[in-house]
Structure 1
Amino acid sequence: MNKTIFITGASSGIGFALCMKMIRKGYNVVGIARRQERLEELNNHYSNHFLGLYGDVTNVESIQNAIEKGIERFGKIDILVNNAGIGILGPVEEAKLEDWNTMIDVNVKGVMNVTNLLLPQLIKNKGHIVTIDSIAAHEVYAGSAVYCASKFAARAFTTGLEKELRGKVRVTKISPGYVNTEFKDHLNNKEIQKNLKSSFENGLNPDSIADAIYFAINQDENIAINEIMIRPFGNA
């Protein structure tokens, strides 16, 4: 039976690129996103190997529903990719508490929610957890205090998983620098958006991150790739 991979934030950017790569490689793919309509084309064209579903990582019921439907369709889930994330950047003195809470809910609690609900499947199948954090999980930037805090937290949580689940589930953290995705269009703060525009546009292709994930999950049984950091050459 083919392996099944569960990808959050599957409707765009890294998540969408990963869905396409894994389908081409013969995996069964469960892709979830809040914008389910963006997954319908994949549902229509790759129905034998792809199941695109509504899923909000901050909503436990929607995640549980997606997991159950994925297992019903493909029999099991072997790999989790925690990809969904959000960045709302700007000076702290201008920030809305609601935006801070949104980043914590998605980037930290979201990773924990999906991981917790899928862990029984992943342990049963001696599976793999991949968390896409960020270079922002290693460095703190002005205008990104809470975003960086959320990524540091996701990285710490995933490091803890790796230590506790050795021999049961492989765990990998992948920390990209600038990636040319829709993320740059959702920064809210116009000054920061303008300053970072060229960095994102000259950043990594989402396919490159998908390649790194594929590399990490396709090692020999006695190998675990625990961490990968990827930066654009000559860029942050």
Structure 2
Amino acid sequence: MKDLKDKVALITGGTKGIGYGVALSLMNEGVNVAITSRDEARAKEAAESLEKASKTSAKALGVMADVRTYESQQKAVEHVLSKFGQLDIVVANAGLGHFGSIEDLTPEQWQETIDTNLSGVFYSIKSSVEALKKSKGYFISISSLAGTNFFAGGSAYNASKFGVTGFTQSVMLDLRQHNIKVSTIMPGSVATHFNGNEPDNSDAWKIQIEDMGELVVDIIKMNERTLPSKIEVRPTMPPSK
């Protein structure tokens, strides 16, 4: 996709953080975007903010959807197709984290992590695959370096992100026969609101959300003969321990 103008993207969890940064970068290339949130008012407010911040006349659509259910993701895709008539790019970004020893992790925390971070990615591609076949589009999942590096207190999060990495790579092999390109991005520390963080100057060393947006644009615009299927990205200079 050398020219992204008038393409259409659906980004889950796009009201802030990585999803918002990706949405804005795509809109700056002329892509119309739909961002999802479980909170309809928040989704619409973020969409308005994106349109004001964008350097182009691309449109932003706020959609209420819960990636934890297949039916909700189907409705989100249908909404996008009804509004824009096509779907070219899907970024499965929605995620959360519960951290702590297995002794303290509750079954409810485990289930919410798996349902959001892993099943949500499955529902996102499953609901959009037919539209992406028509557009010969692009599917990108946002995994994590935690999807290849395990750590104490991260059992649920590690399991979900290891799953996202493996799932997306398998889907890549399934769908390239349909000219659908599939990639997973595995970032390290990103300056977001994840896990209750409030980004400030102390996060300047981290990957910024606009960096993630730039990376997504670069991947999508790469020559069609080349597929960057799995990308690790990390801060250049983390603080010394």
Q: TM-score, structure 2 length as denominator?
A: 0.87
Measured against aligned partners, the alpha-carbon deviations of 1:129-159 in whole angstroms (never above 9, x if no partner) come to 1010000001000000111011001111101
Deviation at 1:79, TM superposition (A): 0.8
The residue matched to 1:111 in structure 2 has which SS? helix
Deviation at 1:216, TM superposition (A): 0.6
Aligned to 1:158: 168
Deviation at 1:42, TM superposition (A): 4.5
Greater shift in the superposed pair: 32-41 or 51-60:
32-41
Percent of aligned pairs sharing the same letter: 32
Structure 1 residues 201 and 149 mapped into 2: Cα distance closer, same or farther (>3 Å)? farther
By relative contact order (CA 8 Å, sep 6+), the higher-ranking structure is 2
**One-letter amino acid matched to 2:171:** L
| Count of residue correspondences | 227
CA contact (8 A) 1:175 1:229 kept: yes
CA contact (8 A) 1:133 1:154 kept: yes
Deviation at 1:33, TM superposition (A): 1.1
Distance 2:36 2:155 in 1: 28
Aligned to 2:183: 172
Distance 1:9 1:99 in 2: 19
Distance 2:139 2:236 in 1: 27
Structure 1 residues 85 and 42 mapped into 2: Cα distance closer, same or farther (>3 Å)? closer
Matches for 1:141-220 after TM superposition, within 5 Å: 141-167=151-177, 168-185=179-196, 202-220=205-223
Structure 1 residues 35 and 121 mapped into 2: Cα distance closer, same or farther (>3 Å)? same
Deviation at 1:23, TM superposition (A): 1.5
Distance 2:190 2:208 in 1: 6
**One-letter amino acid matched to 1:130:** I
**One-letter amino acid matched to 1:21:** S
Matches for 1:61-76 after TM superposition, within 5 Å: 61-76=71-86
Q: TM-score, structure 1 length as denominator?
A: 0.89
Instruction: Could you tell me which runs of 5 or more consecutive residues in structure 2 were left unpaired when the two chains were aligned.
Output: 52-56
Distance 1:200 1:95 in 2: 28
The residue matched to 2:166 in structure 1 has which SS? helix
Structure 1 residues 48 and 201 mapped into 2: Cα distance closer, same or farther (>3 Å)? closer
CA contact (8 A) 2:44 2:61 kept: no
Structure 1 residues 177 and 90 mapped into 2: Cα distance closer, same or farther (>3 Å)? same
Distance 1:199 1:80 in 2: 32
Greater shift in the superposed pair: 39-48 or 77-86:
39-48
Structure 1 residues 96 and 198 mapped into 2: Cα distance closer, same or farther (>3 Å)? farther
**One-letter amino acid matched to 1:149:** A
Deviation at 1:201, TM superposition (A): 6.3
CA contact (8 A) 1:133 1:173 kept: yes
Deviation at 1:123, TM superposition (A): 1.3
Instruction: Could you tell me which runs of 5 or more consecutive residues in structure 1 were left unpaired when the two chains were aligned.
Output: 187-196
Aligned to 1:12: 16
Structure 1 residues 55 and 137 mapped into 2: Cα distance closer, same or farther (>3 Å)? same
Aligned to 1:87: 97
CA contact (8 A) 2:65 2:73 kept: yes
**One-letter amino acid matched to 1:183:** F
Runs of 4+ in 1 over 4 A off after TM superposition: 197-201
Aligned to 2:231: 228
Deviation at 1:39, TM superposition (A): 2.9
